[in-house]
Amino acid sequence: MTDRPSLTPLVASLPATVPFVGPEAQERARGRPFRARLGANENGFGPSPAVVEAMRASTPEMWKYCDPENHELRQALAELHGVAPENIVIGEGIDGLLGLTVRQYAQTGDPVVTSLGAYPTFNFHVSGFGARLVTVPYEDDRESLDGLLDAARREKACIVYLSNPDNPMGTWWEAEDILHFIEALPPTTLLILDEAYGETAPASALPPIDVSRPNVLRMRTFSKAYGLAGLRCGYAIGEAETIRAFEKVRNHFGVNRMAQAAGLAALKDRAHLERVVKAVGFCRQRLSAIAEAHGLKALPSATNFVTIDCGRDGAFALRVLQELAERDVFVRKPMAPGLDRCIRVSVGLEAEIAIFEAELGPALAAARSAS
């Protein structure tokens, strides 16, 4: 065997997997495209026309490196949230910030608490830095605040991860419950509060911004309501010293020049954001009605997707997903026990929702006949 450089023992021990198999990879394997792309929690309504124009106008400037301090975007976000720029760090989407956070706070073998079935990219980063995942089952299709708190205390966890609203179920806790959870958390445990779907949630689900606690990081993104998933731009809000530590490890040129221009333009067009949030709400109602028309139960959702209980077990829900894929409809499903009875359908444009509506009945019939 040819000699080669050695991976670190940690990296050598990890499986060669990714958190998600993207629709593009599935299309390559299938040899044809999907007709309805409703599985990636993207915003099919797209970005503001003003954002598109800002991106177009910035194109001739792409020979320049981006501003490594993200100065203008940080200023705009600070103004939006009523904090100082020192309370904001910008990164390559929430995914990039999750990796940086785990790198800062979790050493090899350290316990990190999350929910069983919650956002798998977070787990990917935890495993990638050699920390130890401690998972807590969902309770009534919501992340269990009591369970997460008990596990964080018992394990003396360095990090606890909570998404509100939740992915993959779309459910949420009210702000008062989140505040009680924060107050009860050990001060030595960092809470990552993932609020990627904050803009599509009821206002009552989002606690007031408080940057006085060193152990709370609240993460937001331009990928969902702002319709900029392809640009990879997100940010975290926190106490100034906690935010300052990101400067030691972040990729200072990671948020490209076009992403910064797009983010600025997106924040300025509040009217477009309001229209998108309204459209998301209408589409959630439409998806719920489609589910109910086929005898299925749609879970209440505060996100840009609807999770649909297929009424049986995980094997049946998987068959439904596969039958939809055979009909060129891309959706996803939770995989954890108890949650895996569901499929998850993103909101989208009417043409794609109509395809889902037309194909759901035949997919269900085929799945039932295979049972």
Q: Is residue 253 within 8 Å of residue 222, measured between CB atoms?
A: no
Report pLDDT for 20: 85
Report pLDDT for 19: 84
Which structure tokens are listed for 251?
């990729």
Same domain, 247 and 287: no
Last residue of some domain: 252, 268, 284?
268
Residue 178 belongs to a domain: yes
Report pLDDT for 314: 97
Instruction: Choose among 239, 234, 236, 184: nearest CA to 211.
Output: 239
Could you give the strand order of the β-sheet that contains 132-136, starting from the edge strand earlier in sequence? 88-91, 234-238, 216-221, 190-194, 159-163, 111-115, 132-136
Same domain, 282 and 338: yes
Same domain, 152 and 177: yes
**Helix intervals (H) in the chain:** 9-13, 23-30, 49-58, 71-81, 93-105, 120-128, 145-155, 175-184, 240-244, 257-268, 270-293, 314-326, 350-369
Same domain, 31 and 59: no
Amino acid letter at 214? P
CATH of the domain at 146: 3.40.640.10
Residue 247 belongs to a domain: yes
Q: Is residue 345 within 8 Å of residue 31, measured between CB atoms?
A: no
Instruction: Choose among 108, 76, 339, 94: nearest CA to 192.
Output: 94
**Within 10 Å of residue 131's Cβ, how many Cβ atoms?**
23
What whole-number distance in Å separates Cα of residue 214 and Cα of residue 36? 43
CATH of the domain at 326: 3.90.1150.10
Local structure of 293: helix, strand or coil: helix
Report pLDDT for 1: 59
Q: How many domains does the chain divide into?
A: 2
- Paired residues of 135 in beta bridges: 114
Cα Rg for the chain, rounded, in angstroms?
21
Report pLDDT for 307: 98
Report pLDDT for 143: 98
Same domain, 190 and 290: no
Report pLDDT for 17: 82
Residue 364 belongs to a domain: yes
Report pLDDT for 303: 98
Q: Is residue 125 within 8 Å of residue 99, measured between CB atoms?
A: yes
Same domain, 93 and 174: yes
Same domain, 220 and 323: no
Residue 203 belongs to a domain: yes
Report pLDDT for 2: 80
Same domain, 117 and 259: yes
Report pLDDT for 75: 98
Residues contacting residue 3 through CB under 8 Å, at least 6 positions apart: none
Residue 291 belongs to a domain: yes
Domain span holding position 291: 21-46+271-369
List the chain residues with pLDDT less than 70. 1
C-alpha torsion sign, points 264, 270, 271, 275: positive
Upstream peptide bond of 165 is cis (omega within 30 degrees of 0): yes
Last residue of some domain: 242, 268, 294?
268
Tally: H helices and E strands in the chain: 13, 12
Same domain, 228 and 342: no
Same domain, 278 and 255: no
Q: Is residue 336 within 8 Å of residue 270, measured between CB atoms?
A: no
Same domain, 114 and 184: yes
Same domain, 238 and 300: no
Note if the pTM is more than 0.85. Answer: yes
